[in-house]
Amino acid sequence: MKSLTPLRARRSLTVLALVTALLGCATGPEPVSEPSSITLGQSSAAPAYYLAEAERSDGERRQANLLLAARAYLQQGQVNAAQNLLNSLEAQLPGSGTLAAEHRLLRARIALETQQLDQVLPMLDWPGQWALSSAQWRDRYALQIRYFQQTGAPLSQAFAHYELGPYLSDAYQQPNWDRIWELLSPMPEEELQAAMAQTRDSQWKAWLELAWLAQHYAVQPTTMLAELASWQRRNPTHPASRRLPSDLEQAINVQPYRPEQVAVLLPLSGQFANQARAIQDGLLANLLGDEQSRKVRFYDTDQLDPAEAYQQALDEGAGFVIGPLLKPNLDAVMAVYQGEVPLLALNQNDGLDPHEDLYFFSLDPESEARQAAQRMQAQGIQRPMVLASQSATGRRMADRFAEEWLELTEEEAEIHYFQGNDSMRETVQSAMHVDQSNARIAEIRTLFGPRTKADFRSRRDVDALYLVATSNEVRLLKPFVDVNLAVFADPLALYASSRAHGELGSGSQAEELDGLRLSDMPWLLSDNAEHQQAVALWPERSLALQRLYAMGYDSWSLIDRLAQMRVFTGYRMRGLSGQLTVEPDGNLERQLDWSRYRRGTLRPEG
């Protein structure tokens, strides 16, 4: 299971504690039995206390105590009790003001707790002139933060943090500013520019501009330093002007790699020559469009001992190394690597100690499964099921999905495996409990005759399927899924990885896949110039080899950016293979795009 780096873990825990505390869920001492006064937006006693107070009062004071009792119920996790109390109050409350806002805050919180996400924002939308307590405003923005976090809207989430700021104590200001920066710094430049053009709030605009500057000048430390000084002069009272984000300060002080010669270690002959040639072609395509006069030399690790090839590259003047590709070759080079030059390995890091100039770039399928779990959770899926092929890759991806889902939701994801095409129907029927329903129907017909009418039933507690399968397997699986859903059951959301993309193409054959969502590299999901050129030059190449071409292309682009990307956690490179970031340990993270089949055509899905 992927763990957070210490810095990111501290930030995430601080912000989580902040929002949790604001929503009244933080663990700690038992609430006092008798609060000194009524303040809506926070409760400090048990539900019984407020219910008793409501019995002794009338009018608005009675309604306020009942609302506080509902809030106290929520703090104890008694959602149904809170909901019943709010339902009984709804007709008694005024249409505006403090009491109405409290009622809406509590309903929004219940909607969040019960994953009725479409109800959250309408409950939090009220006129700014309502005279509310500071606690209520804090509650409102904390709920917005949770909502935007769950729905994957970082810009809106950052703005909710910004609006929360005036209602926080001094102790919480710095963690809140850190979170704003953490959310804004990875955002694409074009989104930041659009947001700057739309806002009239000068302080918020300064946050957006700072994030844009950091992205735009990330590989030009000297220029970035001058631009930041200009930004600070224009915004002297801004919190980030007084203390720049730590990762931004580091990015300013780190010099980018500027090698005059690059060595590339690939198995250009032998069993993996086709894969290596695809990477080589992608790298050369990028090099030809590069304005820098940088030399490149290729070393065939199938003909040369990998460690000797690495040493030869150093002897011949390499200032940067890309590769090796194969795990045994990487192990051989790592056995002699002493950090002489920066090295971008084209494989995963399997337990090697980090080095400040060592990086790992791979197209591992497990990260796709992890991202699928994150996307499904953000889209409100509550009970996903995994249907996976009984292969080593299928098991690894299914396990990684389940691990991430457990980490995100504290719920187990159900996994079912199929062995080849012949077992698909039985696997789907068993997973959806259709076999049990058919057995019950058979019993009924035994008792009442074979002409007894009965429709099978499928389980209704599952709302999505993640298909870990190839394109051909998905073509067979999806019809089985469709016919094994009861006629009155809601359709399931279907997700798949890039393995399902395969050669599905579009048109009438692909129409049967309508509704299927899948993840893949950006350049394979859009009709861009680079992809058209590569297909024209190598029309016979499979999508698997085209992905390696994109990997080679991005490897060349990364050379000048890696040093800054490592220290500046918000810096993302939009590559052919995905949005790339670098973890502090040197591992590259690759964020994929998503598309959905509509009328037989894959269309981008935001």
Q: Mind listing the pLDDT tens digit for each residue in 389-433?
A: 999 999 999 999 999 999 998 899 999 998 877 778 888 888 876
pLDDT at 2: 35
Give yes or no: residues 532 and 512 share one domain: no
Beta bridge pairs of residue 604 = 595
pLDDT at 28: 33
* pLDDT at residue 589 tops 90: yes
pLDDT at 484: 59
pLDDT at 351: 84
Give yes or no: residues 382 and 513 share one domain: yes
Q: Would you say how long the chain is, in residues? A: 606
DSSP-assigned states of every residue in 456-468: ----SS--EEEEE
pLDDT at 59: 86
Q: How far apart are CA 539 and CA 245, in angstroms?
A: 47
Which is higher by pLDDT, 17 or 396? 396
> What are 454-469's pLDDT values in tens digits?
443 445 678 899 999 9
User: Does residue 416 fall inside a structural domain?
Assistant: yes
Instruction: Supply the pTM of this predicted model.
Output: 0.77
Give yes or no: residues 484 and 371 share one domain: yes
Boundaries of domain holding 356? 257-360+525-592
* pLDDT at residue 561 tops 70: yes
* pLDDT at residue 260 tops 60: yes
pLDDT at 489: 52
Answer with the one of 494, 519, 544 that is the final residue of a domain: 519
Q: Per the structure, how many domains does the chain have?
A: 3
Mean pLDDT in residue range 166-179: 93
Per the prediction, the chain carries an average pLDDT of: 85
The answer to which of 49-58, 365-374, 487-496 has the lowest mean pLDDT is 487-496
Answer with the one of 125, 151, 177 that is the final residue of a domain: 151
User: Does residue 302 fall inside a structural domain?
Assistant: yes
Number of alpha helices (DSSP H) and beta strands (DSSP E) in the chain? 26, 15
User: Does residue 598 fall inside a structural domain?
Assistant: no
Mean pLDDT in residue range 110-129: 88
Phi, psi dihedrals of residue 198, rounded to the nearest 5°: -95, -20
Mean pLDDT in residue range 147-152: 88
Write the CB contacts of 45 (distance below 8 Å, at least 6 apart in sequence): 31, 32, 33, 34, 35, 68, 72
Which is higher by pLDDT, 105 or 93? 105
Q: What is the CATH number of the domain that holds 22?
A: 1.25.40.10
Per-residue pLDDT band for 439 (boundaries 50, 70, 90) equals low
Q: Beta strands of 126-209 (E only): which ranges?
A: none
Answer with the one of 519, 542, 559 that is the final residue of a domain: 519
* pLDDT at residue 327 tops 90: yes
Give yes or no: residues 373 and 480 share one domain: yes
Q: What is the CATH number of the domain that holds 464?
A: 3.40.50.2300
Sign for the pseudo-dihedral over CA of 158, 110, 490, 417? positive
Give yes or no: residues 490 and 547 share one domain: no
Give yes or no: residues 39 and 106 share one domain: yes
Sign for the pseudo-dihedral over CA of 276, 277, 282, 284? positive
Do 181 and 216 touch, CB atoms closer than 8 A? Answer: no
User: Does residue 197 fall inside a structural domain?
Assistant: no
pLDDT at 224: 85
Give yes or no: residues 511 and 569 share one domain: no
SS3 147: helix
Which is higher by pLDDT, 581 or 491? 581
pLDDT at 480: 78
Percentage of residues in the chain with pLDDT exceeding 70?
A: 86
Give yes or no: residues 467 and 587 share one domain: no
Mean pLDDT in residue range 571-592: 92
Per-residue pLDDT band for 258 (boundaries 50, 70, 90) equals very high
* pLDDT at residue 34 tops 60: no
Give yes or no: residues 320 and 407 share one domain: no
Which is higher by pLDDT, 452 or 293? 293
Beta bridge pairs of residue 322 = 264, 344
Per-residue pLDDT band for 558 (boundaries 50, 70, 90) equals very high
User: Does residue 18 fall inside a structural domain?
Assistant: yes
Residue type, 202: S
**3-state DSSP percent of the chain in helix, strand and coil, to 5:** 55, 10, 35
Mean pLDDT in residue range 270-278: 97
Per-residue pLDDT band for 119 (boundaries 50, 70, 90) equals very high
pLDDT at 33: 35
Write the CB contacts of 178 (distance below 8 Å, at least 6 apart in sequence): 11, 14, 15, 245
Percentage of residues in the chain with pLDDT exceeding 90?
A: 51
- When mean pLDDT is compared over 89-93, 261-265, 501-505, the highest value belongs to 261-265
Per-residue pLDDT band for 40 (boundaries 50, 70, 90) equals confident
User: Does residue 163 fall inside a structural domain?
Assistant: no
pLDDT at 432: 78
Q: What is the 3-state secondary structure (H, E, C) of 44-55?
A: CCCHHHHHHHHH
Per-residue pLDDT band for 514 (boundaries 50, 70, 90) equals confident
pLDDT at 94: 80
User: Does residue 600 fall inside a structural domain?
Assistant: no
Which is higher by pLDDT, 218 or 74? 74
Give yes or no: residues 501 and 385 share one domain: yes
Q: Is the peptide bond before 342 cis (omega within 30 degrees of 0)?
A: no
Per-residue pLDDT band for 27 (boundaries 50, 70, 90) equals very low
User: Does residue 560 fall inside a structural domain?
Assistant: yes
pLDDT at 570: 79
Give yes or no: residues 147 and 23 share one domain: yes
Give yes or no: residues 15 and 72 share one domain: yes
From the list 428, 580, 396, the residue with the least C-alpha distance to 497 is 396
Do 295 and 327 touch, CB atoms closer than 8 A? Answer: no
* pLDDT at residue 559 tops 60: yes
pLDDT at 10: 41
